Amino acid sequence: MNKTPEKLRSVDLFAGCGGLSLGLKQAGFSHVLAVEKSEMAAETFFHNLVKRLETEDEWPGYVSDSIDDQFVRGLVVGELQKVLDSDRIFESLREKEIDLVAGGPPCQGFSLAGRRDPSDKRNDLPWQFLEFVERVQPKTVVMENVAGMRQAFRKHGKASPFEELQRALEETGRGYKVQPMALNAKHFGVAQNRPRVFLVGLRADLATDNMVFTAEAWDSHRDLDPASGEDMRPTLAPWATHGLPEGTELIPSWDAISDLAFHKNTNSAFVSPYVKDLNGRVLVPASQALAGATAKVLRNHVRRKHGERVQDRFRLYHQFSEYKIDPLILTVSADTEMSATQKREFVTLKISQAQEKFGFDKKTARKLIEDSLRLGTKKHSQRALNPKQPAPTVVSLPDDFVHPFEARTLTVRELARFQSFPDTFEFRSKETTGGPRRKFEVPQYTQVGNAVPPLLAKAIGNHLRAILSQNQCNTEQDNQLAQSA
């Protein structure tokens, strides 16, 4: 079956709230199926990528539908194993000729030996992903995981989970030519420093002799170095677009949220160029008809309430940022094993060093010392954002990010901006959670933190689409030559 480049079909496993699918859709892929076990994250996916939810009972009704009915709508809510158990679904998928299967199964404990050890539950989800690929035989495969997967490729003489997973994908189905990659979202127009590792596979029968594959993981940072050359640049690696020596600069965090700083939930008169571009390029399919109406109200921009002491600590972080003082000194102030004298000596030394460098007056120094001793905390990673740099990696907990100018943490919408979600993408379900519920609930903050940035997904999708399009053209030319011979 011949398909034009506009008709490429994709499947998203472990889909979360839909960042990967949204980006692939913008790259010209037609969404066929997503699978997500969390009802919270799946609700957001459905609301934005399938159909806008209008009533309270619409989503519970969908969740209770049969797997066959959900498959027809394009989103299965439940474990991937439910899909693997349905021969009818796979018969339909094979008829559709899937071009891309993507997903990010947790792989930290993956081992090739695990297939021979059913009791090792760490292997279940990666093997389910690979079984899906084997049965569907897509033209391309994209697997995403955290950057730590790439560290210590070989430890104590053993292959890392990342290497093991690459080998398993290479041997799946008809076989795949696999390129490992380390891609940072900031190199693709995202206002965030977010390094992630990917395995991108092209079905072996589609690979040509002139394609380049490297055993070493390709790092998107190498595109920023003119000396790196193109001779050994992997064919499947998307080109970086931001941070190049003579190109577009990296997007600082302030460009993403500056228009949200001083209003509650309505759009201000000024919107940054980054946000205008983002909202213009990344369209949410299920919201396009409502774009005019929803643009007047900004969703998911609810400021969290903090006590006065916490707000004082946040203001202190702002000063630390201004004077380049390590906020970890507050953990020293909270250290129960140090005496009050030891704490004061340590804090005084650090503040004095900053005073010598920046030249602020003695009154400011004394206040910084007293506030640092008074506002100690055990939070090691909390600090104010640097407005001039891309945001740090967005995580599933909101407490690490302190607004660069306001005494508060960031809203769901602000973190979504860092992830390159457009404002028309509305996150559903509860905003946050805590305690034991963290193990199974996926609220809005977690949905944002777990997502693949749509702009990064779009860059990967555009690149693979171009490769598949060229492959199709070559095949058609070969067929024409064969017929004319």
Total count of residues recorded for the chain: 485
- 106-112, long-range: CB < 8 A, 24+ apart: 106/145, 107/143, 107/145, 107/149, 107/161, 107/162, 107/165, 108/149, 108/161, 109/161, 110/161, 110/164, 110/165, 110/168, 111/161, 111/164, 112/164, 112/167, 112/168
Q: What is the CA radius of gyration of the chain?
A: 25
- C-alpha 156: how far from chain center: 31
SS3 category, 335: coil
Which residue's structure tokens are 């906020």? 327
Q: Which of 102, 107, 330, 384 is catalytic?
A: 107
Q: Exposure pattern of 220-254 as b/e (b: 16+ CB <10 Å)? A: bbbbbeeeeeeeeebbbbbebebbbeeeeebbbbb
Centre a 10 Å sphere on the Cβ of residue 380 and count the other Cβ atoms it contains: 11
Closest CA to 302 of 430, 132, 472: 430
Question: Do residues 380 and 409 make contact, with C-beta atoms less than 8 angstroms apart?
Answer: no
Euclidean distance between CA atoms 246 and 232, whole angstroms: 22
Cβ atoms of 72 and 91 within 8 Å: the answer is: no
Distance CA 318, CA 407 (A): 8
> Distance (Å, rounded) from C-alpha 33 to C-alpha 66?
15
Check if 17 is active-site: no
Catalytic residue set: 107
